[in-house]
Amino acid sequence: MKQSAFENKNEIFWRELESRIFPGSKRKLRSRQLTQLDQHFPEQYRRLCHHLALARSRHYSPVLVNRLEKLVTACHQMFYQRKTHILSSILLYITGGFAQSVRNEIRWVMLSAMLFFGSFLAMLITLQYEPDMVYTVLDGQQIAEMEAMYDPTQDRIGRERQSDTDFQMFGFYIFNNTSIGLRTFASGLLFGVGSVITLLFNGLVIGSVAGYLTFLGYTSSFWSFVAGHSAMELMAIVLSGAAGFKLGFAIISPGRKSRLRSLRDHAREAIYMMYGVALMFFIAAFIEAYWSSITSIAPVIKYTVGILFWILLLLYFVFAGRKRAT
């Protein structure tokens, strides 16, 4: 969309907000006036943030970007001045803001998904014909640990020691998953190359584990274990890579901004998306600790639940928050 069409479409909305935020040329909105804000303000604030993100990504004029930045800053100060807005802002983010931020970065999400799932599937398929290839990624001790963790005869699968409690494993999974996500995200600062390497490496490692255990015949124990939390965990890794690519691209192609300013602006948007990624890792860890490891549940039930999670997650990213965006 051209800038002129974008401005014509949203000018009335911006002017209305400006008249409320800046009622006088040199007068700020007082605290008592916050009570006059209607219930739609959180939605309007999110919509304004979306407009600012579009203006930056489409490289509209600095005049327009500065105007929207000033308005967003003022709205932010109002929005967070009252503690009662915290819960509503979190709810607004979960019900639409996170999904919208993912759709805004769809090209980076697709690139990240191709790298991660491509390397994962390549290793998974290769090991069905050349199982010794697993030693190019994992050492002997790691392979032995994997075999023990997913042995179908165990009462609890996915654990190195059967004495570990669900809560202990919950903490371990959170630490392990978030460390992968943070490395994938932060390594994007190396001009995006770091995120590429991290995504490929994790895809190869996870694909090696899945491929080798499948070759051994541990199909039921392994795949029923990962089915439930795979949607949240794997997509969180992909989104971490997408956020990392956004950082790298900000440095490589800053446009009319300085590299520091470009990185700062893109980092703000990337971190906004990473809030949701962190929540996905938390949910994945919870499912992995309290659901996935239970052997008394029939594999077909775990597969059904896993497929349902994948469908719901994809529907969320495709449709959540669309009615509010313009």
Question: pLDDT by residue (tens digit) across 85-125?
Answer: 677 778 888 988 899 999 999 999 999 999 999 999 999 99
Residue 45 contacts residue 34 (beta carbons within 8 Å): no
The Cα–Cα gap between 230 and 302 comes to 11
Q: Give 34's pLDDT tier (boundaries 50, 70, 90).
A: very low
Q: Is the pLDDT of residue 65 over 80?
A: yes
Type of residue at 128: Q
Position 37 scores a pLDDT of 52
**Burial per residue of 193-218, b for 16 or more beta-carbon CB atoms within 10 angstroms, e otherwise:** ebbbebbbbbbbbbbbbbbbbbbbeb
Q: Give 226's pLDDT tier (boundaries 50, 70, 90).
A: very high
Taking alpha carbons only, the member of 237, 245, 235 closest to residue 107 is 245
What average pLDDT does range 225-243 have in this prediction?
94
- Name the residue with tokens 């002129």: 4
pTM: 0.73
Position 160 scores a pLDDT of 59
The Cα–Cα gap between 8 and 175 comes to 48
Residue 196 contacts residue 311 (beta carbons within 8 Å): no
pLDDT tens digit string along 264-302?
888 988 999 999 999 999 999 999 888 887 878 888 999
The Cα–Cα gap between 45 and 37 comes to 12
Residue 92 contacts residue 43 (beta carbons within 8 Å): yes
Q: What angle do CA 85, 89, 94 make, to 5 degrees?
A: 155
How is the chain split into domains, by residue range? 3-82, 104-319
Taking alpha carbons only, the member of 61, 39, 51 closest to residue 14 is 51
pLDDT tens digit string along 128-150?
999 999 999 998 898 988 888 88
Type of residue at 68: L
**Range of weakest confidence among 33-37, 86-90, 185-189, 280-284:** 33-37
Residue 325 contacts residue 100 (beta carbons within 8 Å): yes
Q: Is the pLDDT of residue 38 over 80?
A: no
The Cα–Cα gap between 152 and 220 comes to 8
The Cα–Cα gap between 270 and 311 comes to 25
Q: Is the pLDDT of residue 32 over 60?
A: no
For residue 155, what are the contacts with CB-CB under 8 A and spacing of at least 6?
A: 162, 295
